[in-house]
Amino acid sequence: MDSTRFIREEEVKLLVESISKSVEPINLVERLFALNHNIITRITFGDKFDDELRFRMAIREGTALATGFQIGDFFPSLGFVGKLTGMNKRLEECLVELSSIMDKKIQCHIDQRKVEKPQRQCLVDVLLRLQEAGGELGQPLTTDNIKSVLLTFNTLKPLSTYANIHCVFIMRRRTGLCGEMWKTASDPVLQEV
């Protein structure tokens, strides 16, 4: 936690300054959610970035779609209803948007690492270092794996632990990301939930 303390302190300072300069009433809940998002974004990506608003909006929409009710989650034989209503297409478009934003940000970190070693490492830097190390994890860490970790870290921050687990499993099933490794890891958790 000490490695991210400076980020939290800077963001809280910015929040307090913005509140003190505000001449109109503020929505404190909205500001606190923005604070949470800013802290998580900086821990994840190292700094704020150009597509941050697009990223935040895509996360908000994706979370709403993924946690919303779909009959196919309860009755798999009715999974086609999500296609008819357009929910599956909207979720897929949202994932494509998030993927392109994360690809761009990951590539910036790769390019930056070629020039100089970062003074302070963010989650992207740590994951890229693990990717370069190769076999330390027992199997290769792909860019898609990195994007999944980043997406999970940024998407599920405001939810409770139970909701996090539930949301991850539903998103995995809906997007078809159910490889053998995922099934092996998810079976014990599903039994507990």
Q: Are 70 and 171 in contact (CB under 8 A)?
A: no
Cα-Cα end-to-end distance for the chain: 29
- Ranges 14-18, 102-106, 128-132: which has the least confidence: 128-132
Quote the pLDDT of residue 104: 92
Structural domain range at position 118: 56-192
Number of domains in the chain: 1
Decide if 188 is inside a domain. yes
| Percentage, residues of the chain above pLDDT 70 | 78
Q: What is the mean pLDDT of the chain?
A: 78
pLDDT band for position 136 (cuts 50, 70, 90): low
At 14 the pLDDT is 92
Instruction: Report the predicted TM-score, pTM, of the whole model to 2 decimal places.
Output: 0.68
Task: Establish if 137 belongs to a structural domain.
Answer: yes
* Most confident listed range (62-71, 95-104, 147-156, 179-188): 95-104
Q: What is the pLDDT of residues 40-61, one digit of tens each?
A: 888 888 887 778 888 888 888 8
> pLDDT tier at 100 (50, 70, 90 boundaries)?
very high
The answer to whether residue 9 is domain-embedded is: no
Alpha-carbon distance 69 to 166, whole Å?
12
| Domain assignment present for 42 | no
**Which contacts of 112-120 are long-range, i.e. CB under 8 A and separated by 24 or more positions?**
118/46, 120/3, 120/46
93 found inside a domain: yes
Contact by Cβ (8 Å): 90, 13: no
User: Long-range pairs for 95-103 at CB < 8 Å and ≥24 separation?
Assistant: 95/62, 95/175, 97/54, 97/58, 98/55, 98/58, 98/59, 98/62, 98/147, 98/151, 99/147, 101/51, 101/54, 101/55, 101/58, 102/147, 102/150, 102/151, 103/143, 103/147
* 141: amino acid identity, one letter: L
Is 122 within the bounds of a domain? Answer: yes
Asked if residue 38 belongs to a domain, the reply is: no
Neighbours of 41 (CB within 10 A): 23
Q: Would you say residue 151 lies in a domain?
A: yes
The backbone torsions φ and ψ at residue 173, rounded to the nearest 5 degrees and listed phi first, read -65, -45
